[in-house]
């Protein structure tokens, strides 16, 4: 039997991000993935500004920026006639959100995964492909997981990053609460090539037969197709029938390289932890894609969890790991509600979907000691720059950081949120000792 400190199940965006964070802090970890390779498909193609900040800290920002681009303007069509242009995202006001990133960055999910995987490999990490986690047992000291082929791995902690249909979550008996809408029409999402269609716009076609969208995928010659499912099995022929009926421009797709059929739904796991097993990403929360939050919330789960696993492994008496569920379940509750509101068109995509205002002010880890704090507070995300100082450069890396600014003294967590804030350093050392900073 092999032993490791952390076993991560699933090499989607969540598992890969966690793998990078664990590798850079020197934690012994194994990632297993049931697929023979990284999953294909453009799926979660929008990286929100907060996720870009996280990816910058993890050392992959240049590759992400080079491989993606901003979203094009949306162009609405009806019966072959242009109805007009539409802005999908409300713009950020200059400087208001304290980030150098102001718009979501479009990059197909398969490409994001490739970039994360390359970073993981560069840090010495690996993914064991074609290894499916089948069963597990846990006791006070660890978790034993059986994989395909009968291999067993014993880990001090296991992270279920195995997606929305998580077998681990089911095996643990953790329920999902949500508003699954089985009566809603299913959607087909897929990657297609459509010669002759302009790549300057995200095309949205309205027709009697239903809606059809084609978004040019930056860095590729493909479009992401999104269509209320036409009758029949998904195939190039059904896609072209839908294009004929709904787009009315005489355009045809030449291939369908990946597709998935799904019903938009919202669901949240009742718990994010059972003993030594933690749920992260889609295993813990499922969002309707129209909100563009699923992958983003997942990456940020991993970023919250990595340093806490590191703390728990370093000091078994540490209680920090307990704050993962406290903090991330609260965030996920808000994000699935937001994504549903966006889907119902009650909320515009803008400041709230950029995820820069998310904070942990209510967390038991946040300690605000100033009687009248103003500006940056305990639990807040540290802004990119303040008073002309590049704060993100000062806090970059897997460690805690201390900042002294005109507003006060701040001890910043490894994930870039203020843990402790005071008028002076008085009390800082006690907090640092408590959290193992």
240 binds ligand FAD (CB under 6 A): no
CA–CA gap between residue 378 and residue 411 (Å, rounded): 9
Q: How far is the CB of 296 from ligand FAD (least distance, A)?
A: 5
**Which of residues 18, 20, 21, 33 is near ligand FAD by CB under 6 A?**
33
Secondary structure (DSSP) of 9-41: E--SHHHHHHHHHHHHTT--EEEE-SSSSS--S
- Per-residue string for binding with ligand FAD, 278-317, x by CB under 6 A? ---xx------x--xxxxx-x-------------------
Q: How far is the CB of 13 from ligand FAD (least distance, A)?
A: 4
**Alpha carbon distance 270, 160 (integer Å):** 14
By beta-carbon proximity to ligand FAD, the closer residue of 296 and 304 is: 296
List of residues 6+ apart from 429 with CB closer than 8 A? none
Give 163 or 422: the residue with its C-beta nearer to ligand FAD. Answer: 163
Separation of alpha carbons 263 and 7, rounded Å: 31
Report the Cα 13 to chain-centroid distance in Å.
Answer: 7
Helix (H, G, I), strand (E, B) or coil at 334: helix
Render 247-305 in DSSP notation, one character per residue: T-SS---SEEEEEEEE----EEES-SEETTEEE-GGGTEE--GGG--HHHHHHHHHHHH
Alpha-carbon span 404 to 421, nearest angstrom: 10
We find the least distance from the C-beta atom of residue 343 to ligand FAD, in angstroms, to be: 11
Quote the least distance from Cβ 161 to ligand FAD, whole Å: 5
Task: Compute the distance between CA of residue 373 and CA of residue 308 in angstroms, rounded to an integer.
Answer: 27
Question: Cα separations (Å) of 161 from 97, 214, 241, 277, 319?
Answer: 30, 30, 37, 10, 22
224 and 191 Cβ atoms separated by less than 8 Å: yes
Count of all residues that appear for the chain in the document: 437
Binding letters toward ligand FAD, positions 39-58, x by CB under 6 A? x---xxxx------------
Enumerate residues 155-184 that contact ligand FAD by CB under 6 A. 161-163, 167
Asked if 216 touches ligand FAD (CB under 6 A), the answer is: no
**Per-position x/- string for 371-400, each x denoting binding to ligand FAD as judged by CB under 6 A, each - no binding:** ------------------------------
Q: Return the number of the residue (211 or 262) whose C-beta is nearest ligand FAD.
A: 262
Using the rule CB under 6 A, which residue among 12, 72, 98, 414 binds ligand FAD? 12
Residue closer to ligand FAD by CB (options 32, 403) is: 32
Instruction: Based on the shown chain and the rule CB under 6 A, indicate whether residue 104 belongs to the binding site for ligand FAD.
Output: no
Interface with ligand FAD, residue 340, by CB under 6 A:
no
Q: Which stretch binds ligand FAD (CB under 6 A): 32-40, 84-92, 205-213, 411-419?
A: 32-40
Strand segments, DSSP code E, in 184-272 are 187-193, 201-207, 210-216, 223-228, 255-262, 267-269
Which residue in 6, 9, 106, 227 binds ligand FAD (CB under 6 A)?
9
For residues 44 and 213, which CB has a smaller minimum distance to ligand FAD in the complex?
44
In three-state secondary structure terms, 167 is: helix
- How far is the CA of 126 from the CAs of 31, 33, 109, in angstroms? 7, 11, 19
Q: How far is the CB of 167 from ligand FAD (least distance, A)?
A: 5
13 contributes a contact to ligand FAD by CB under 6 A:
yes
Task: Choose, by CB under 6 A, the member of 102, 126, 260, 363 that binds ligand FAD.
Answer: 260
Helix, strand, or coil (residue 48): coil
Nearer to ligand FAD, 282 or 327 (CB): 282
Beta-carbon contacts of residue 19 (< 8 Å; ≥ 6 apart)? 8, 11, 29, 31, 120, 125, 127
Residue 129 interacting with ligand FAD (CB under 6 A): no
Please give the residue ranges that form the binding site for ligand FAD (CB under 6 A): 9-15, 32-35, 39, 43-46, 109, 132-133, 161-163, 167, 189, 260, 262, 281-282, 289, 292-296, 298
């Amino acid at each position: 039997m092999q032993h490791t400190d952390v076993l991560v199940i699933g090499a989607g965006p969540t598992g890969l991000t966690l793998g990078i964070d664990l590798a850079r802090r020197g934690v012994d970890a194994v990632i297993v993935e049931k697929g023979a390779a990284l999953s294909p498909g453009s799926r979660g193609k929008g990286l929100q500004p907060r996720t870009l900040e996280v990816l910058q800290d993890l050392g992959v920002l240049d590759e992400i920026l080079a491989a993606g681009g901003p979203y094009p303007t949306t162009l609405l069509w009806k019966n072959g006639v242009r109805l007009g242009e539409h802005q999908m995202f409300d713009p950020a006001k200059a400087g208001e959100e304290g980030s150098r990133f102001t718009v979501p960055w479009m990059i197909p999910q398969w490409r994001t995964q490739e970039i994360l995987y390359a970073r993981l490999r560069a840090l010495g990490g690996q993914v064991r492909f074609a290894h499916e986690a089948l069963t597990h047992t846990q006791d006070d000291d660890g978790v034993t997981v059986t994989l395909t082929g009968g291999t067993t791995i014993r880990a001090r902690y296991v992270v279920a990053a195995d997606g929305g249909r998580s077998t681990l979550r089911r095996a643990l008996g953790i329920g999902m609460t949500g508003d699954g809408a089985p009566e809603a029409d299913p959607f087909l999402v897929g990657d297609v090539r459509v010669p002759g269609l302009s790549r300057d716009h995200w095309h949205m076609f309205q027709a009697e037969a239903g809606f059809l969208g084609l978004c040019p995928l930056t860095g590729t010659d493909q479009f992401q197709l999104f269509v209320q499912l036409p009758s029949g099995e998904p195939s190039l022929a059904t896609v072209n029938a839908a294009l004929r009926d709904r787009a009315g421009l005489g355009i045809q797709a030449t291939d369908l390289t990946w597709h998935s059929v799904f019903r938009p739904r919202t669901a949240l796991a009742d718990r994010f932890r059972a003993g030594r097993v933690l749920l992260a990403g889609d295993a813990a929360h499922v969002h309707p894609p129209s909100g563009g939050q699923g992958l983003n919330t997942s990456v940020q789960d991993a970023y919250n969890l990595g340093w806490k696993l590191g703390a728990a492994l370093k000091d078994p008496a540490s209680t920090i790991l307990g704050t993962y569920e406290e903090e991330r379940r609260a965030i996920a509750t808000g994000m699935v509600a937001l994504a549903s509101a966006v889907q119902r068109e009650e909320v515009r995509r803008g400041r709230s979907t950029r995820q820069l205002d998310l904070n942990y002010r209510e967390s038991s880890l946040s300690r605000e000691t100033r009687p009248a704090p103003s500006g940056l507070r305990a639990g807040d995300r540290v802004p990119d720059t303040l008073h002309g100082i590049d704060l993100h450069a000062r806090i970059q890396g897997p460690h805690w950081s201390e900042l002294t600014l005109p507003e006060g003294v701040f001890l910043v967590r490894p994930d870039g949120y203020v843990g402790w804030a005071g008028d002076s350093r008085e009390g800082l050392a006690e907090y640092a000792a408590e959290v193992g900073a």
